[in-house]
Amino acid sequence: MTVASGTAALLDLFLPRTCVHCDAPTGAGILCAPCWSRLPLLAAPRCDRCGHPSRGRACTYCSSLPPFVRAVRSVCWVPDPVSSAAVEALKYDGWIGIAAPMADRIARLAWPADVLDERAAVVPVPLAATRRRERGYNQAELLANEVGLRWGIPCWADVITRERNTPTQTRLTPSERSTNVHRAFRVNEAARGVRQRIAGAHIVLVDDVLTTGATLNAAATELFHAGARIISYVTFGRARTAAD
């Protein structure tokens, strides 16, 4: 036994890891297995394009998407005691190790065949520089790196930047959210070969949560104007609409 492994064993004995939601022992994990099994997964049937549960109704969510967005997928609903605990552990509490099991679930989502064939890279929704310094990392980039590894495609974390530190979207109305992030993103012209990489590509934007889609739509619009042919979205959580 090495010194490092011995130290880890002692820490697990005297300070056992517990689930961020229910406080049950987890071994090496951050969320326990029973809590993972209680994630409120999006129900079937779902819209083939936006992935929103349709329950036999005509889809109304797709109308909020720009025409160049091909498909949208999410793992589970938020807010919810379990899924919110996972998102908050990653986003606010510094438990970056939870990105990998979250990405496992993201990577297993079903997509239309053309998305599977065409997706060229994953791109995380960027944070403003001040927000990233405060947090120490970008949770969307952690997820995107892990998802890219599982899909076998690159993560282009450098292709777009967030030009201003917009106020949090949490308490804003849908129209206020769109205004808040309008022109908040820019192609990073300092990145090597950025225009050549984006040109004609099918890019999958990655974020932790989809609420109204305003942030993802703003980032996708910048990518489209820079030459991307089509964009899809994937997130861990998705907020319910009034119809849900």
Domain ranges of the chain: 1-38, 41-239
Compute the distance between CA of residue 161 and CA of residue 219 in angstroms, rounded to an integer: 9
Q: Residue 153: helix, strand or coil by DSSP?
A: coil
> Looking at residue 122, what is its pLDDT?
98
Q: Dihedrals φ, ψ of 41, to 5°?
A: -65, 150
**Token pair for residue 1?**
């036994």
Fold topology of 41-239: Rossmann fold (3.40.50)
Q: Please tell me the least confidently modeled range out of 14-18, 64-68, 195-199, 209-213.
A: 14-18
User: With 60 as the cut, is the pLDDT of residue 3 above it?
Assistant: no
Pick from 105, 97, 127: which is nearest to 30 by CA? 97
User: With 90 as the cut, is the pLDDT of residue 5 above it?
Assistant: no
- Roughly what angle, to the nearest 10 degrees, separates helices 174-181 and 214-225? 40
155-173 tens-digit pLDDT: 999 999 998 655 554 554 5
User: With 60 as the cut, is the pLDDT of residue 83 above it?
Assistant: yes
- Average confidence (pLDDT) over 127-134: 91
Strands 230-239, 185-187: pairing kind: unpaired
Q: Residue 74: helix, strand or coil by DSSP?
A: strand
- Average confidence (pLDDT) over 62-66: 93
Name the β-bridge partners of 123. 205
User: With 80 as the cut, is the pLDDT of residue 198 above it?
Assistant: yes
> Looking at residue 111, what is its pLDDT?
98
> Looking at residue 118, what is its pLDDT?
98
- Average confidence (pLDDT) over 139-159: 98
| Helix intervals (H) in the chain | 3-14, 33-37, 81-91, 99-107, 113-118, 129-135, 139-151, 174-181, 194-198, 214-225
